[in-house]
Amino acid sequence: MSYARIAIIGANGMLASMLRATVSETVALHLYDLPEFDITNATQVDTVLGDLQPDVIINCAAFTQVDNCETQQELAFAVNGQGPANLAAVAKKIGAVLVHISTDFVFSGDATTPYNEEAVTNPLSVYGASKRQGEQAIINSGLAEYYIVRTSWLYGPNGANFVETIIRLATEREELGIVADQTGTPTYTVDLSNAIWCLLDHSASLVQGSEFGIYHYSNDGACTWYDFACEIISQLRQANVALKVKKIKPITTDEYPVPAKRPAYSVMSKEKIVTATGLNLPPWQESLTRYLKGRLKN
């Protein structure tokens, strides 16, 4: 990788911690997070990153608590909308590449086949709308060299996520009711991190301004939350983990009311990133196996 200096924003989060663990040894990483660094503060962003002059800025900072975004709309749009605008402005000024992490929640979920990068966005929630605003801010900033990487159903070490929730509940309860009418794709942070490094390796050798833009990345395949939970529990049982759960019951979205609406279908096409980089896409079940093996070993 020919990028020598990389700033990671939101450095204490689940994805950022994996980026830190998987980065090339030749790269100098500079880590920023709250409370010392606030992406909603345009002056601070400009001063700190202007002084650092990184080659790449990776934005992992976001307000990702989907239901809390409904009641904290101002904060959601500040962090997820204005924050990326501030980063894009400084990236343009200093000539840095900006990598921004976005979400499948920018889509309405009305599709029946995987969304590609050009698909119309029509979010159902404040979270999705705020993330779309962040994407649009970058696209409209005049910055040529950016990657917006949309991902979905992210899990990994060092963060709250669906896999950890199911593991906890399966050791506490005999019966679980899991939503079975929302379809998407899980993504392991190791695989997403590798995809990001792969994109940056790729862009380092690009003709200036070509092939930047929006990319989708998740693991391969699709499932419902119910399918995902069943697979987690099945793999734990195969590994002889003691569980209390006896029954997993499929339920509808209506039976599990939450403040924010979720897309019923948010599977994304990864054809663009595979064509651009030659990346191998691991099936979601295989990635889950790697995560659980590593977790149980530790």
Clarify whether 265 is annotated catalytic: no
Alpha helices in 186-224 (DSSP H): 189-204
A 10 A CB-CB count for 26 gives 9
Quick check: 215 and 273 in contact, CB under 8 A? yes
Alpha helices in the chain (DSSP H): 14-22, 42-52, 66-71, 73-77, 83-94, 126-139, 162-172, 189-204, 225-238, 271-277, 284-297
Residue 113, Ramachandran bin (φ over 0: left; ψ between -120 and 50: alpha; else beta): beta
| Chain centre to alpha carbon of residue 63 | 12
Burial 55-69, CB ≥16 within 10 A → b, else e: bbbbbbbbbbebeeb
| Burial group, residue 249, by CB count within 10 angstroms (0-12, 13-18, 19+) | exposed
Catalytic residue among 32, 115, 127, 226, which?
A: 127
| Chain centre to alpha carbon of residue 81 | 16
- Helix (H/G/I), strand (E/B), else coil: 67: helix
Active centre residues (catalytic): 127
